[in-house]
Amino acid sequence: RKEVEQDPGPFNVPEGATVAFNCTYSNSASQSFFWYRQDCRKEPKLLMSVYSSGNEDGRFTAQLNRASQYISLLIRDSKLSDSATYLCVVILNAGKSTFGDGTTLTVKP
């Protein structure tokens, strides 16, 4: 079993839809969590950090569930420009970071 797992998708949704991704992790010592966005043939770009209390940034909401060991990303009112691969990353308290393999989102007109 991989340390960090994501549903690869692809998720194909119409503009304006709400879509949610989950990312599960196996190491309970994980301390920090982030979502990154990666466009085709580009580097990953930080989308948002994930805090224990949950956090929101515009149309994006991130949640952490330590008991079930997963993080989630919710995108409301999807835009064409949201089409990308979304990567979660989990960082252990010793600093080691592990990325998931990403979930591909395509938003269609």
Partner 1 sequence: EAGVVQSPRYKIIEKKQPVAFWCNPISGHNTLYWYRQNLGQGPELLIRYENEEAVDDSQLPKDRFSAERLKGVDSTLKIQPAELGDSAVYLCASSLEGLAGTVLYNEQFFGPGTRLTVL
Q: Does 40 bind partner 1 (CB under 8 A)?
A: no
Q: Does 45 bind partner 1 (CB under 8 A)?
A: yes
Q: Does 42 bind partner 1 (CB under 8 A)?
A: yes
Binds partner 1 (CB under 8 A): choice among 73, 89, 105, 107: 89
Binds partner 1 (CB under 8 A): choice among 27, 69, 74, 99: 99
Binds partner 1 (CB under 8 A): choice among 62, 78, 84, 102: 102
> In whole angstroms, what is the distance from residue 83 CA to residue 104 CA?
8
Binds partner 1 (CB under 8 A): choice among 18, 26, 49, 65: 49
Q: What would the x/- binding string for partner 1 be over residues 15 to 34, using CB under 8 A?
A: ----------------xx-x
CB atoms closer than 10 angstroms to residue 13: 17
**37-57 b/e with 16+ CB inside 10 Å = b?**
bbeeeeebeebbebeeeeeee
In angstroms, give the least distance from the CB of 32 to partner 1.
6
Q: Which helix (H) or strand (E) holds 26?
A: none
CB atoms closer than 10 angstroms to residue 67: 7
Peptide bond into 10 cis (omega under 30): yes
